[in-house]
Structure 1
Amino acid sequence: MSRKNVLAVIPPQVGGRAAGAALAGLLADRAEVTVVESAGEDPGALAAAHVIVSALSPVGAEHIAAAPALELVQCVGHGHDHVDLAAAHARGVTVCTIASSGAEGNSVAEHAFALILACAKKIVPASTALAAGEWALPRLRPELTELAGKTIGIVGLGRIGRDVARKAAAFDMTVLYSARRRAPADVEERTGARWTELEELLRLSDVVTLHAPLTDGTRNLLDARRLALLKPTAIVVNTARGPLIDQDALADALEGGRLAAAGIDVFDPEPPPPGARLLSAPNVVLTPHAGAVTRETLVRIALAAVENVRRHLDGGKPHDAVAAGG
């Protein structure tokens, strides 16, 4: 007799219980599903759960401790920094993302270029000035630039980074990348990306865009020292995770005129507090972690996570397991 599979879905911070219930509905034919928001809310649900599904909502040590039958934590997205990996791996619990699915790649890559173009073409200040009755072209003209012939440095050449590289080639940009491990030669050939050390990438690039996961090794990857390596005409874009950049150091660089512009979709914390310096820094374009939330992407993300859970429940090896070191 087959076992009765039990899943606990921790709903996303955006969409809440309704979004969690919709995700749960996709798995109802394979398991008994409960939506819970905290470890103590429904102890019975977690106690029986074989799988926890989470879309950016924290899965802490308390959730894992409350789930003695737990086998898998499935993240509905590329990131896993909201999961206590140490607690999971200490219990032998597998943590998976949807990184290899490509579900978010095109949308995030498009969003990165939207921010790059907004910074290069001064779209936001131009629009704001026109709405206020100012013909701002004389003031903005010295700062306008184009992408053709410039160098873009991509930090992290996973699925999203590769999509960015291909789009950059269409803009006639030279593409550099830095990553923990060098990509295979065929990937470099297909994307036109050339590997270099991070600090050399920062020195050479006109645009730097971050597509690395958040781990202990990448937290504050761009700190004050590394930001100082950038050209004063450079643009920095972050659509990955907020803590990859020291946000006070980034604000310092923008306020001091040591950096031309920044396009930021992710923050630390999220949402940022009203007094966060980046919110009022000059030459910054801000969006509310919107890179991967198009109508099309949300469907692909949910289906990729559900397929991975089904794979596990059917006795297969789920995709995109996160190593203990993050």
Structure 2
Amino acid sequence: MSARRTVLAIVPPHVGGRASGAALASLFPGDARVTVVESADEDPTALRAAHVLVTALAPVTARHLAAAEHLELVQCASHGYDYVDVAAARARGVTVCTIGSTGAEAQNVAEQTFALMLALAKQLVPAHTALTQADWALPRLTRSLTELSGKTLGIVGLGGIGQQVARRAVAFGMTVLYTARRRVPAETEDRFAARYVPLDELLAASDYVTLHTPLTEETRHLLDARRLALLKPTAFVVNTARGALIDQDALADALERGALAGAGLDVFDPEPPTQSLRLLKAPNVVLSPHVGGVTRETVVRIGAAAVHNATAFLAGASPRDVVT
């Protein structure tokens, strides 16, 4: 790697800041010149000099791309890329990549999805709260407790994460439906016992719906008021992908009216959410602060995958998971 090939690693405080950035930088070869910042605005000189920009959920706007005179690659340390202005990158001839095919986050996001589903099915949050208040809530909770076995799970997006969710759903004895922009090959459907149906049909038939699709202009508010109304009143919605995939006000409306049984959310729009977000006080919700991809094990895999792709690019190899 030429000494002229410089890297800017952007790791904001909410995903570890400088400490995590230093760990990320240490994974690059010794001849790489790596600068760690917490936002793309922090060091204009480093931004201007960078050939590669590695971003961990930090926004990369058209203004940043215009200022980065030597930039060739934006490497997202995530499966998603909604925080990068992909159109501006394309216009400037800058490649944008994710780590989607590596599966670095897939295991833990799938586990987080099931943690939320189980918490909803078993009413773990109200059960815990009741006991801490000396309320033996068994008679009351019995009416709302349910099982995953025998239920239908609708998966929106059957990529690496969606497939891991499907694998676990089969182990729980669930029927798996999926929808996606492109249908997966028949052998993949067979491997994960997943049947393709259009989105509206999936929503109407599912007891649980879980989202595992990128956030784009086409998928923003994918679950809007009309589509949420297609769900059974006994159904649950789980989102561990991106908050803006759901119209949050429409979801709050449905929960407050009793038109849905509950929701499990690990992601919000914006993040962190403001205290005015109605979902924070909506009935029968289980919330977590975007922790689906940030276990100790996952963070190491994500960093290694992002660095490997960026290093290969600088060495002249074709990168994986190209978005642009």
Equivalent residue number for residue 7 of structure 1:
7
Structure 1, gaps ≥5 residues long: none
Once the two structures are superposed, what CA deviation does each residue of 1:145-187 show, in whole Å capped at 9, x if it has no partner?
Answer: 1111110000000000000001000011100000000001111
Equivalent pair of 2:56/2:78 in contact (CA under 8 Å): yes
- Provide the secondary structure at the position in 2 that maps to 1:143: coil
Equivalent pair of 2:235/2:260 in contact (CA under 8 Å): yes
Work out whether 1:121 is the aligned partner of 2:122.
yes
Letter in 2 for 1:5: R
- Aligned counterparts of 1:71 and 1:205: Cα–Cα separation in 2: 44
Equivalent pair of 1:6/1:31 in contact (CA under 8 Å): yes
Q: How far 1:42 moved relative to its partner?
A: 2.5
Once the two structures are superposed, what CA deviation does each residue of 1:61-82 show, in whole Å capped at 9, x if it has no partner?
Answer: 1211111111000000101001
Work out whether 1:41 is the aligned partner of 2:42.
yes
Q: How far 1:102 moved relative to its partner?
A: 0.5
Equivalent pair of 1:8/1:49 in contact (CA under 8 Å): yes
Q: How far 1:40 moved relative to its partner?
A: 4.7
Describe how 1:229-240 pairs up with structure 2 within 5 A: 229-240=230-241
Structure 2, gaps ≥5 residues long: none
Letter in 2 for 1:89: R
- Aligned counterparts of 1:194 and 1:60: Cα–Cα separation in 2: 38
Work out whether 1:63 is the aligned partner of 2:76.
no
- Provide the secondary structure at the position in 1 that maps to 2:143: helix
Letter in 2 for 1:299: V
Q: What is the aligned length?
A: 323
Equivalent residue number for residue 29 of structure 1:
30
| Percent pairwise identity | 67
- Aligned counterparts of 1:296 and 1:209: Cα–Cα separation in 2: 23
Equivalent residue number for residue 227 of structure 1:
228
TM-score between both structures, scaled by the size of structure 2: 0.97
Equivalent pair of 1:10/1:35 in contact (CA under 8 Å): yes
Equivalent residue number for residue 211 of structure 2:
210
Equivalent residue number for residue 106 of structure 2:
105
Q: How far 1:45 moved relative to its partner?
A: 1.2
Once the two structures are superposed, what CA deviation does each residue of 1:20-70 show, in whole Å capped at 9, x if it has no partner?
Answer: 222122215141111234455323212221100000011111211111111
Equivalent pair of 2:11/2:39 in contact (CA under 8 Å): no
Q: How far 1:284 moved relative to its partner?
A: 0.3
Equivalent pair of 2:12/2:37 in contact (CA under 8 Å): no
**Runs of 4+ in structure 1 over 4 Å off:** none
Once the two structures are superposed, what CA deviation does each residue of 1:277-322 show, in whole Å capped at 9, x if it has no partner?
Answer: 0000000000000111111111111100011011101100110011
- Aligned counterparts of 2:183 and 2:121: Cα–Cα separation in 1: 29
TM-score between both structures, scaled by the size of structure 1: 0.97
